[in-house]
Amino acid sequence: MSDQTYNGPLHRLAARLGPARTATLMQFLRFGVVGTVGFVVDTAVLYAGLALGLGLYSGRAVSYVAAATTTWALNRAWTFRGRGQGPVARQWALFLVVNLIGFACNYGTYAALVAGVPAVAEHPVIGVAAGALAGMVGNFLLSRRYVFVDGNGA
């Protein structure tokens, strides 16, 4: 089927959004895919930490750093490819710093659910998922604005 005859819902959405907003939407969708990988890493490291004797809170702090490092690397390579300046270690540190707001939303949601909902304390993956969703939009906007900027600062 040629592009001239295709007029499906995605094509119509892209036409309404325009090229710049479509590019941002696609970037956000890639960010979400990377976030899903981060969720898996976060959960796996948390459960490994729990098996090794870490508590629900300290285990989550360790798992969050592991997940944030994973998502930074994948976002650098795929979501925001070609964007970002300076040394890699500086960019990683900047990613962690500017995403502290997302971390506060993420960890705060997790901690509140673990403390207040017995089912979440028994199955912390629920709290990890809720926390990841709570921090996602903020992390995307902050990462796009401050960490993965192009040469023009956009």
When divided into structural domains, the chain yields a total of: 1
Query: Over the stretch 12-28, which tens digit does the pLDDT of each residue have?
Result: 877 888 888 989 999 99
| Amino acid at position 22, single letter | T
Residue-wise pLDDT tens digits, 47-69: 999 999 999 999 989 998 899 89
- Per the domain annotation, does 14 fall within a domain? no
Amino acid at 47: Y
Question: What is the DSSP annotation of 11-43?
Answer: HHHHHHHHHHHHHHHHHHHHHHHHHHHHHHHHH
* Integer angstrom CA distances of residue 83 from 5, 48, 143, 144, 153: 34, 34, 11, 9, 10
Assess whether pLDDT exceeds 70 at residue 97: yes
Instruction: Indicate whether 139 belongs to any domain.
Output: yes
Among left, alpha and beta (phi > 0; psi -120 to 50; other), residue 131 is: alpha
- What's the predicted TM-score (pTM) here? 0.76
- Residue ranges making up the domain that contains 99: 26-147
Give strand ranges (E) for the chain: none
7, part of any domain? no
Query: Residue 154: its pLDDT value, please?
Result: 44
The answer to whether position 89 is within a domain reads: yes
